[in-house]
Structure 1
Amino acid sequence: MQKKTLLLIISWSLGGLMAQAQDSTLNPVTVSASLSQQRASETGRNITIIPGDRFNKLPVHSLDDLLRYVPGVEIQARGPMGSQSDIVLRGGTFQQVLVILDGMRLNDPNTGHFNSYIPIAPAEIERIEVLKGASSAIYGADAVGGVVYIVTKTFAARMGQKSTKVTAGAKAGQYGLWGADAGVVYSNNRLHLAGGVLRNQADGVQQRGTTGYFNNTTASVSANYWLSPSWRIAYRFAYDTRDFAAQNYYTTFLSDTAGEKVTSRWHQVHIGYEKNRASFSVDGAFKSVTDGYAFNKLSAANSSVSKLFQWRLLYGYRFSKHSNLAGGVNFLEKKIASNDRGHHNLYQVSPFVSLTQKLWEGFTMRPSLQWVYFENITAELVPQLDLSQQAGDWQLRGSVGKTIRDADFTERYNNYNKALVTSGRVGNPDLRAERSLSYEVGGDWFRKEKLKVSATFFQRFHQRLIDYSTTAYADMPRKTNLSPTGTYALAKNVAEVNTTGFETDAQYIHDFGQGHKLTAGAGLVWLSSSSSDSTPSFYISSHAKFLTNFSLIYEYGDLLVSVTGLYKQRQEQQAAAINAALSRDYFLMNAKVQYGFFHNMLAVYAQVDNMFDRQYSDLLGTPMPGSWFMGGVQLRWKR
């Protein structure tokens, strides 16, 4: 109890220092909630927005590292520095968070474990918007717990901007760590170019009885050209590869000494028109992911290639300053070719419409509706209503909506194509799409341009939740390639899961002038989930019951000091076969000290991750590193 009290004090002291009218830094324009530009406070939703430059200021190494310290976000990491992480919002499963890059969805049709492999170099990111709660009426399937929406500098650029910015960095540290990042952003009236690379690798991280490794690289380039003041075209290509030791990432077997390599290629195109009150855009993207996984040196490797084709037509019209309409249609085609899961494909079409209407001063409502048609699966009609009312320094908000999620190819066909399966997780082709009803009520308090405090109560009533549950051989629906003596976890629709939670977060920004600035944020989440299934399903028992995370950046002249931390409580778990356990809780803190030269064009820094050397795991059997010391240099130039 003393530890929890201490964490509460730390979190709120970082988020709520000296409170002094609402400004665009704490209440910025967002696109994630309504597909059109709108102040965050008017959306009726709890949205946290992280500027892209936060990446190089905080002690983080990858985008999942950065998200780990965003208020309300739980990251369940299997390995360090982008090896593999699951993104969890409001107690959902890791497949129930939708990740979007400049309007195009990134969620992989093979497995949600790949959703944190975001193919964009940090140098290209303008901002990250985290929209918490039901969003299927806007974005369709998978947006159950929320949406992580990434906006990049190139695709967000406006005509007339002129600037050049170059960044580069290198680091080295314990466990054979070395890494590098670089980026360039160029704008000249009509033409906007950007590109970057991020590299992390190490070979000394200890796993159970062996030494782990990771070699992770992300590179991306993009261009945006304004053909006229009304028309523009943009294109991006990205390459991402993660090569890592994956021992016990997916099993708790003693014989598991797995290794895995996941390589992604991403193409994206945008054609946009905007004039007077109307806007129109055509967006397309193609994603190809190659996954090679070997359970151990004696087993045959699983090899899968998944592909995602998608198009979106979006039309917007502003009737007046009080009324705005957005509508369009999404088209998806998902494919997989796998020696483990077989060859499958699925189409999805979903028209949608959303109206933003201000009825009186300070009051905004937004009804939205999407019809999602799955090939060979029952279509779903998905409505939602968001409300917001300003009252002085307060913004009161509420939302109610339906959400849906269809099974990925792993949930449907895992171990389906093998000759003999003696144990492990087994897919189920007969899974039905999840559906749930969610509602939330909350408010935001703004205090004199420096402080924003938010609080939200929410509930989600889930039907047919898809999760793995231990199932006896006699009860398996398909026994063709199963052993009668095997132990299996079957993917199935859990009858009912209800989640209740409360989240509160604070952001504090104080620019004292003359290079003296403090930026802090903190969040607290309490969660409770109950299931009608007699045997608790795997992921429902894995999410945090209590979570607080925080970050702080202090800048004074040439000096920068930053801290990130989190405290998590969850259900204890044991795996006797591999002598592994999940503790009831853990506290983690990282720190970075940086000093700049030549007006901060060149900077050197020292950093320590897990500064208290806490032994912990987010998922059973996957220990994370202890204290990790490193240092590096950063170069910044702009004109």
Structure 2
Amino acid sequence: MLKTGFISLLALTAATPALAQSNPDAGERSDSDIVVTASGVEQKRTETGHTISVITRDDLETSQVTSISDALNLVPGVAVAQSGPVGSQTSVFIRGAESSQTLVLIDGVRINDPSTPNGVFDFGALLTGNVERVEVLRGANSVIWGSQAIGGVIDVQTIAPTDTLSVNASAEYGSHDSVKAYGNVSGKSGIFAGSFGAGYYRTDGISSLIGGTERDGYRNFSANGKLLVEFSPALALDLRGYYNKGRIEYDDAFAFPGNPANSIPESDNEQFTGYVGLNHDLFDGKWKGRLSYSRTDLVREGSEAGATGPFNYNVFTARGQVDRFAYDGNLDFGIASLVFGAAHENTFASTFFPLGGDVTPTTFKSDYSSFYGQIGVNPFAGLTVNGGLRYEDHSQYGNHTSFGADAAYTPNDGQTIFRASYAEGFRAPTLSEALPPFGNIDLKPETSKGFDVGIEHSFIDRKVTATATYYHRKSNNLIAYNPATFQSENIGRATSKGVEVGLIVRPNDDLDVRVNYALVDATTRSPGANFGNQLARRPRDKASFVADWRSPWGLKLGATVALTGDSFDNINNSFANRLDGYWLTTVRAAFPITDRFEVYGRIENLFDEDYTVVKGYNTYGRAAYGGVRVTF
């Protein structure tokens, strides 16, 4: 039935009147033609062979989504697994890669958590709030970004400083006694330009586990800030900061002795990123660069009311810190350009389980240095070719070199774009994977080799844009914990291949219809009983239909239909671990009372679909929300 739904959805798209938009992926608009994740510097989308989706502030406000993961779930080739209500552990898989193989940046600072076993970033606490833009690069790009960029790169950017004073605020209330409020002010005065904001979210939530009798609530506070001091046209100081603190209540799926499923474990999670950069622009823009220092500081503390027993692992403290010193440069030679850089990174992690038998915290430390360079050439109008190398030297496991290349060609000023890329990716073993007591210092990094080819074409006066991309990636030396040896080992191989297609029809500024479909064939190639099985929580089929219309009198109406195909909860693709596919429908409306004041509302899961994303964990039924936005 679900496959029939996919076919019907595509047929509906084909029957839609001719409409337009320059970029075909969900969330991409004509104001997102500049990207940074391809080469680390601003670049036109027509000049890179990488597949990149951009989610803008307008997209987030139009869709009214609460969390960044909800927006990512509409990007083709991206799957999201959330273990319970808002704030719960949330993993993102790009093109079938492991969640640990996605590099996450907030305002250009890496925020993957080194205190977790595999260095994964938890998207549960990352709400839309004062986020201005999200770039999603699908596919490896280790030349520019180094370790973890096997599946892709997600770059989240908060609101940037504006040339004139700008104030934005919003407030919302809805189902499960959910409240959220955000505000941001930005502007420029003399040599100073800044943007500062904060937000708050709380909800009573739902039971984290299916069948639970008590609600698991969530609270979140966030703050963001950017300050640019332009000493001269050639020299500027760049300061950035982001802070997020959330408290999540959850259920214990393992029910340790004295710790039943409906007990009340809680986790306080703090995230901080800070950045100090000195930017230079020399020789009439021929040489641009930045010398920077950044810090990532992540703290997780777990507790439980009435916790008993010697092995209650809900009581814990974990901390991860990353200090990074870097220089990144860009030389422009006209028909050619060079991006290059060097970095040194110190990483620290600490874990402490007092009720699990720990007497003192377990600490880990490592450091590494890296160097990279990528050349881009424009041999003739419309063709751009990029190629580069990255060399990494880690204190724990040695050195590694990655190669990547991509090309983009447009014969008609962007109306048609041919893209291709080849990339080698790698992920260095995390501190807990590589160091005693449970780590293995002899581990090799996870590696991958992959390519993609695609075409983007706009027609009917660029009122219709369509894309199609094929990709293929092989991964080796995947790291997994072996309970027989009590150590991490290189035991895994996987292959991921698939197709991503998209269509945007937009006849004018008042109507926008977008459709995406992705086939993700991600399977294990490790010898054994599970050879050829589908990787966990990665549905083969995903599609979405998004339509938004603004009436002549200002009323805005929209709907999203998201389809997720069948998947499995773990690598053992047995019937007991099967997760059935499902449809989720959201309808929304917004009405501007004045040019500065707007009211809005939405109904999520309109048809009250009963579905499961992670086995044993609950999902929301029908829910309604309403709010206001103010702009000055």
TM-score normalised by the chain length of structure 2 = 0.86
Aligned position for 1:116: 123
Correspondence for 1:349 among 358, 361, 369: 369
Aligned position for 2:141: 135
1:563 aligns with 2:575: no
Q: 1:346-399: per-residue Cα shift (whole Å, max 9, x none)? A: 112110001110122322110111001111202110011112222343211211
Supply the distance in 1 between the matched residues of 2:11 and 2:219 (Cα, whole angstroms).
37
Change (3 A) 1:149 1:134: same
1:188-587 aligned within 5 A: 188=189, 190-208=191-209, 209=212, 210-247=214-251, 255-256=260-261, 257=263, 258-275=265-282, 276=284, 277-294=286-303, 297-298=307-308, 299=312, 301-320=315-334, 322-340=335-353, 342-392=362-412, 393-411=415-433, 430-447=442-459, 448-467=461-480, 471=483, 476-478=484-486, 491-512=488-509, 516-518=510-512, 520=514, 522-536=516-530, 540-556=535-551, 557-573=553-569, 583-587=579-583
Change (3 A) 1:619 1:38: same
Gaps of 5+ in 1: 418-425, 479-489
Supply the distance in 1 between the matched residues of 2:326 and 2:126 (Cα, whole angstroms).
19
Change (3 A) 1:510 1:272: farther
Aligned position for 2:631: 636
Supply the distance in 2 between the matched residues of 1:517 and 1:498 (Cα, whole angstroms).
39
Paired amino acid for 2:555 = L
Paired amino acid for 2:386 = R
User: 8 Å contact 1:119–1:238 — kept in the other structure?
Assistant: no
Return 12-21 or 82-91, whichever deviates more: 12-21
Aligned position for 1:487: none
1:53 aligns with 2:58: yes
Aligned position for 1:43: 48
Q: 1:209-231: per-residue Cα shift (whole Å, max 9, x none)? A: 23211112221122112111121
Supply the distance in 2 between the matched residues of 1:144 and 1:37 (Cα, whole angstroms).
22
Q: 1:191-222: per-residue Cα shift (whole Å, max 9, x none)? A: 22112223221124123323211112221122
Shift of 1:302: 1.5
Supply the distance in 2 between the matched residues of 1:365 and 1:118 (Cα, whole angstroms).
38
User: 8 Å contact 1:119–1:266 — kept in the other structure?
Assistant: no
Change (3 A) 1:492 1:51: same
Return 239-248 or 115-124, whichever deviates more: 115-124
Aligned position for 2:112: 107
Aligned position for 1:170: 171
Correspondence for 1:63 among 68, 71, 76: 68
Correspondence for 1:610 among 605, 609, 613: 605
- Tell me the secondary structure at the aligned position of residue 5 of structure 2: helix
Aligned position for 1:423: none
Shift of 1:499: 1.5
Aligned position for 1:481: none
User: 8 Å contact 2:21–2:30 — kept in the other structure?
Assistant: no
User: 8 Å contact 1:313–1:330 — kept in the other structure?
Assistant: yes
Supply the distance in 1 between the matched residues of 2:570 and 2:319 (Cα, whole angstroms).
34
Paired amino acid for 2:240 = R
User: 8 Å contact 2:389–2:403 — kept in the other structure?
Assistant: yes
Aligned position for 2:18: 18
User: 8 Å contact 1:71–1:550 — kept in the other structure?
Assistant: no
Supply the distance in 2 between the matched residues of 1:386 and 1:327 (Cα, whole angstroms).
16
User: 8 Å contact 2:447–2:475 — kept in the other structure?
Assistant: yes
- Higher strand content, 1 or 2: 1
Over the matched positions of the two proteins, sequence identity in percent amounts to 20
- Tell me the secondary structure at the aligned position of residue 261 of structure 1: strand
TM-score normalised by the chain length of structure 1 = 0.86
Shift of 1:6: 2.7
Return 23-32 or 145-154, whichever deviates more: 23-32
Aligned position for 1:149: 155
Gaps of 5+ in 2: 24-28, 354-360
Supply the distance in 2 between the matched residues of 1:491 and 1:294 (Cα, whole angstroms).
27
Shift of 1:250: 8.6
Supply the distance in 2 between the matched residues of 1:611 and 1:457 (Cα, whole angstroms).
33
Shift of 1:81: 3.3
User: 8 Å contact 2:109–2:296 — kept in the other structure?
Assistant: no
Return 454-463 or 207-216, whichever deviates more: 207-216
Correspondence for 1:593 among 589, 592, 613: 589
Supply the distance in 1 between the matched residues of 2:221 and 2:621 (Cα, whole angstroms).
23
Shift of 1:508: 4.0
- Tell me the secondary structure at the aligned position of residue 4 of structure 1: helix
Supply the distance in 1 between the matched residues of 2:73 and 2:62 (Cα, whole angstroms).
15
Supply the distance in 2 between the matched residues of 1:468 and 1:14 (Cα, whole angstroms).
45
Shift of 1:593: 1.2
Shift of 1:405: 0.4
Paired amino acid for 2:300 = D
User: 8 Å contact 1:518–1:555 — kept in the other structure?
Assistant: no
Change (3 A) 1:528 1:376: closer
Supply the distance in 2 between the matched residues of 1:352 and 1:508 (Cα, whole angstroms).
40
User: 8 Å contact 2:169–2:181 — kept in the other structure?
Assistant: yes
Cα RMSD of the aligned pairs, angstroms, is 3.0
Shift of 1:8: 4.4
User: 8 Å contact 1:265–1:287 — kept in the other structure?
Assistant: yes
Supply the distance in 2 between the matched residues of 1:573 and 1:34 (Cα, whole angstroms).
35
Q: 1:117-167: per-residue Cα shift (whole Å, max 9, x none)? A: 677874352x2211110101111000001111234443xx6xxx6322212
Supply the distance in 2 between the matched residues of 1:550 and 1:309 (Cα, whole angstroms).
42
Paired amino acid for 1:529 = T
- Tell me the secondary structure at the aligned position of residue 53 of structure 1: helix
User: 8 Å contact 1:302–1:338 — kept in the other structure?
Assistant: yes
Supply the distance in 2 between the matched residues of 1:436 and 1:280 (Cα, whole angstroms).
30
